[in-house]
């Protein structure tokens, strides 16, 4: 059975910054991923890898989930990333985040390699995997990617690399500029559909302009409406914004419960569609209720590893 994790906010922490790694340990956030990829300069990859293995092995993080983003599978670093992580901190590592996947073959390969490494180092758990959908090839095969391994827990739409991969003319990571409508609607929607069909969480990627909370909130809201579970944060100030958008507010939870009760009573009376506070509700209206209540319960559970 897969572990159900909160992913309202996934905070990215550069693996080469011992200062930020230490600071991240104290942060109250659903999910932290320590980055070995783009936040780390090529000449500091080995140092960052050592820092990250040590941090995962021996730091007590307040966040309930700790992940590491490795370098992509065509890089000269991915092999060492994987072997060092599974050997050095496999027992403590919840999830590996794979960037720049090109298709389901990458996921199958990673799954098999992880299985070998876990067996080799007698790791007593199955490490989860999340995949960045940030290449045009990945979006083209996103349904197959979502079904490629039982380790998969989530798909992340990485709009920074994706925009470059498609040749989009945007001014920064996560920016949508003056495109009429929502530039990323199609991409997010495909990722959300594929993720949910595969029983995975969809997560929205970064927004780089961390001094612009309104735009961040708006981007998070767009993702939430489409069914995403959360959004990345690259700066601590974005954590609160994401958690607010992706948490059901108490009024929504109360209404969801009342709706489910009213519908159950109607069914007893032999009615399929009823008037609930002035709108029609039927079985479709209460389909999402369990999910809202389960999320609220998960948020209410005590955090901490």
Q: Which residues contact 41 (CB under 8 A, 6 or more apart)?
A: 16
For strand 152-157 and strand 230-233, is the pairing parallel, antiparallel, or unpaired?
unpaired
Residues 172 to 211: which contact ligand COA by CB under 6 A? 206
Q: If you ran DSSP here, which 8-state letter would residue 180 be given?
A: S
In the complex, the smallest distance separating the C-beta of residue 294 from Mg ion, rounded to whole angstroms, is 31
Residue 128 is a binding residue for ligand COA (CB under 6 A): no
Rank residues 14 and 128 by Cβ distance to ligand COA and give the closer one: 14
Q: CA 111, 34, 222: angle at the middle one, nearest 5?
A: 85
**SS3 call for 33:** strand
Q: Are 239 and 233 in contact (CB under 8 A)?
A: yes
DSSP for 280-303 reads EE-TTTTTTHHHHHHHHHHHHSPP
User: Which residues sit opposite 155 in a β-bridge?
Assistant: 131, 202
The residues that touch Mg ion, with contacts defined as CB under 5 A, are 134, 158, 161
**Residue 259-278 contact track with ligand COA, rule CB under 6 A, x = bound:** --------------------
Question: How would you classify the pairing of strands 279-281 and 274-276?
Answer: antiparallel
Q: How far is the CB of 18 from ligand COA (least distance, A)?
A: 11
Distance CA 104, CA 106 (A): 5
Q: x/- binding map, residues 206-245, to ligand COA, per CB under 6 A? A: x---------------------------xxx---------
Positive or negative: CA dihedral 157, 158, 164, 168:
positive
Residue with smaller CB distance to Mg ion, 30 or 134: 134
Best CA proximity match to 104, nearest among 69, 73, 78? 73
CB closer to Mg ion, 209 vs 240: 209
* 19 interacts with, out of ligand COA, Mg ion, none, CB within 5 to 8 A per kind: ligand COA
Residue 66 Cβ, how far from ligand COA at the closest point, in Å?
A: 13
Specify the residue, 9 or 89, whose C-beta has the smaller distance to ligand COA.
9
**Residue 256 phi/psi, 5° resolution?**
-60, -45
* Binding at 161: pick from ligand COA, Mg ion, none (beta carbon under 5-8 Å per type): Mg ion
The CA–CA distances, whole Å, from 292 to 39, 96, 142, 295, 300 equal 34, 27, 26, 5, 12
| Least Å from the CB of residue 48 to ligand COA | 11
SS3 for 132?
Answer: strand
CB nearer to ligand COA: give 38 or 153.
38
Residue nearest to Mg ion (CB): 161
Q: Closer to ligand COA by CB, 234 or 296: give it.
A: 234
By CB under 6 A, residue 134 contacts ligand COA: no
Site mask for ligand COA (CB under 6 A), range 3-22, x = bound: --------xxxx----xx--
The contact set with ligand COA (CB under 6 A) reads: 11-14, 19-20, 23-24, 35, 38-39, 206, 234-236
């Amino acid at each position: 059975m897969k572990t159900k994790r909160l992913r309202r906010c996934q905070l990215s922490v550069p693996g080469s910054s011992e200062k930020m790694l230490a600071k991240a340990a104290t942060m109250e956030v659903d999910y932290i991923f320590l980055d070995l990829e783009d936040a780390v300069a090529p000449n500091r990859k080995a140092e960052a890898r050592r820092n990250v293995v040590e941090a995962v092995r021996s730091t007590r993080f307040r966040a309930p989930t700790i992940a590491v983003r490795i370098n992509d599978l065509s890089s000269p670093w991915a092999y060492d990333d994987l072997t060092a992580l599974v050997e050095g901190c496999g027992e403590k590592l919840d999830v590996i985040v794979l960037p720049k996947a090109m298709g389901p073959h990458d996921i199958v390969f990673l799954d098999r390699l992880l299985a070998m490494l876990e067996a080799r180092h007698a790791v007593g758990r199955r490490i989860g995997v999340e995949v960045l959908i940030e290449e045009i090839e990945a979006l083209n095969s996103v349904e197959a990617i979502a079904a490629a391994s039982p380790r998969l827990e989530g798909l992340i739409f990485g709009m920074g690399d994706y925009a470059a991969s498609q040749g989009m003319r945007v001014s920064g990571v996560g920016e949508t500029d003056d495109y009429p409508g929502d530039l990323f609607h199609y991409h997010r929607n495909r990722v959300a559909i594929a993720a949910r069909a595969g029983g995975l969480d969809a997560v929205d990627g970064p927004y780089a302009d961390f001094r612009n909370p309104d735009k961040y909130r708006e981007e998070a809201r767009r993702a939430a409406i489409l069914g995403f579970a959360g959004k990345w944060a690259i700066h601590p100030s974005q954590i609160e914004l994401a958690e607010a958008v992706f948490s059901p507010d108490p009024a929504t939870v109360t209404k969801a419960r009342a709706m489910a009760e009213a519908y159950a009573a109607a069914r007893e009376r032999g009615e399929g569609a009823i008037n609930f506070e002035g709108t029609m509700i039927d079985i479709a209206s209460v389909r999402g209720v369990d999910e809202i209540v389960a999320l609220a319960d998960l948020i209410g559970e005590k955090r901490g590893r």
